[in-house]
Structure 1
């Protein structure tokens, strides 16, 4: 089992180069599953719970590679043309990031085995 970064290295590098990026402002507070959830720190360093190595080396890596040409320019504030295929790629990447973030930082939300 391996831990997965919520944001990949290419996204981390792109965000750190952005003039308005300030990791000291990174803080999430909310309610998840009826419990208060707080997470502090630089979100670029957050890692998830454990994933099978073949998941991170296979499907997850493929999703990251497909998203890079669209998401990186968007982070930089560049205009990006998104056809249906690109929209699907970004939606898939966004869903993956949401799942990784949720189950990495809010373990009480995870299903018990």
Structure 2
């Protein structure tokens, strides 16, 4: 597994894969087992385990094993770094565009 310089890199890398986003969408409605995620995505259990590991490494999900059943749950706190990063850039560009608009409106 690749090592990341910060949490944002891990989150962005995890979200870059469509199957992982599909898994997160499903987990946003509640817990799901690996088997349920496999059925939903059409992906085999070994690949689900790899996707779950990447999402867990990024802090986006937690997993627990009971016997042979692995259950996954979303961790919304894992999205905090990404949300902060996006909000900072949005604020910057909103400010820049407002400034440009004022400049263009001057007679």
Query: What's the TM-score, normalizing by structure 1?
Result: 0.30
Q: Which has the higher strand share?
A: 1
Q: Which gives a bigger RCO, structure 1 or 2 (Cα 8 Å, sep 6+)?
A: 1
